[in-house]
């Protein structure tokens, strides 16, 4: 039987990225994992993930949750750095 950890480890996303997708889309973690895994394999999907994470950081900043906004910005930067030229900067 696969655990959630196994599914995360088998995906091409990091746990923080999956959590950011779940937060942005207001969906369960496993659903975010499935959606993100599907998106990360296309240029349009990678761009969408980057936009989601950045947008969620901006929302957090506007609502005063600066600590979480900083965390999401680090997640966004790591995502951009990891996929490099495969993601057009939003």
Structure confidence by residue, pLDDT tens digits, 18-73 = 999 999 999 999 999 999 999 999 999 999 999 999 999 999 999 999 999 999 99
pTM for the complete prediction? 0.88
Find where tokens 């207001």 sit. Answer: 26
**Residue 90 — very low, low, confident or very high, per pLDDT cuts 50/70/90?**
very low
d(CA 84, CA 23): 24
Say if residues 65 and 72 touch (Cβ distance below 8 Å): no
**CA separation for the pair 79, 82 (Å, rounded):** 5
- Alpha-carbon gap, residue 28 to 69, rounded angstroms: 20
């Amino acid at each position: 039987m696969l655990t959630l950890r196994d599914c995360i480890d088998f995906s091409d996303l990091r746990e923080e990225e999956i959590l950011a997708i779940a937060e942005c889309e207001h969906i369960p973690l496993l659903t975010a994992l499935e959606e993100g895994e599907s998106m990360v394999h296309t240029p349009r999907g990678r761009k969408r993930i980057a936009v989601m994470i950045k947008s969620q950081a901006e929302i957090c900043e506007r609502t005063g949750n600066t600590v979480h906004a900083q965390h999401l910005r680090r997640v966004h930067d790591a995502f951009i750095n990891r996929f490099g030229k495969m993601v057009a900067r939003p």
